[in-house]
Structure 1
Amino acid sequence: MSTPISAIRNLGPAFETACIKAGIPSAEALRALGADAAYTRLLEAGNRPHFIGYYVLVMALQGRPWNDCKGAEKAALRKRFDALKAGSFDDRRSEFERALNEIGVIERR
């Protein structure tokens, strides 16, 4: 039996739906991937990047309150987020182009 993603503190139904669309079906799968790999999948599935969403995910997987991230830790997470975004999200591409990319019709940029 698998645990719903929304059972993880701070992660609600909308995040769970986005994860399922990105091929992450359960809390167990999310934990196994870890925050960075999971967030990369979300971006590659066409979700728009949002720093707060990223660090909420990191805090959730650590079992911490979403607003527990501060100071140097938050700055370090911002660097990780920026790197993930740069490598996995192209805001110049439309949803249609992303779908074509997923099935291999157009090459990745």
Structure 2
Amino acid sequence: MAEGGTPITSIRNLGPAVEAACSRAGIKDAETLRSMGADAAYEAMVRAGTKPHFIGYYVMHMGLQGRPWNDCQGKEKDQLREMFDALCARARPAVARLEGLDAILNEIGVITPPRR
């Protein structure tokens, strides 16, 4: 956390693991995270080495809106999934295309796809 800044853990749904991942991405406090927004912050985290995980992404969105993590449903969740997929494509363009079980495991955040 930056000196004088509010801890990232003060944001609903976000705990110490997210705070550490944000720190690795240069996001030192809640004020910086809020000013960046969930999309830019999560992309910075992925570029800094955080393994992309859809649930973590939408949990951040919900937290920045002051909503419970499980409040994301239906059409909103579908739209966030599209945004997450686009974000991952920008942040990790060299990831090999996966098929079958590997694609499913990657989608739920269980495996890291091999780089080309």
Normalising by the smaller structure, the TM-score range is 0.7 to 0.9
2:12 matched residue in structure 1: 9
SS of 1:24 mapped into structure 2:
coil
Structure 1 unaligned spans of 5+: 93-108
SS of 2:57 mapped into structure 1:
helix
- 1:91 to partner: Cα distance: 4.1
Structure 2 unaligned spans of 5+: 97-115
2:79 matched residue in structure 1: 76
Taking only aligned residues, the RMSD between alpha carbons, in angstroms, comes to: 1.4
- 1:44 to partner: Cα distance: 0.4
2:104 matched residue in structure 1: none
Distance (Å, rounded) in 1 between the aligned partners of 2:95 and 2:34 = 27
1:43 matched residue in structure 2: 46
TM-score by length of structure 2 reads 0.77
Distance (Å, rounded) in 2 between the aligned partners of 1:45 and 1:91 = 15
Match of residue 21, structure 2, among 2, 18, 23: 18
1:85 matched residue in structure 2: 88
**Matched length:** 93
Task: Please give the per-residue CA displacement for 1:75-106, whole angstroms capped at 9, x wherever unaligned.
Answer: 000000000001102446xxxxxxxxxxxxxx
Task: Please give the per-residue CA displacement for 1:1-56, whole angstroms capped at 9, x wherever unaligned.
Answer: 21000111100001101100100000000000000000010010011110000000
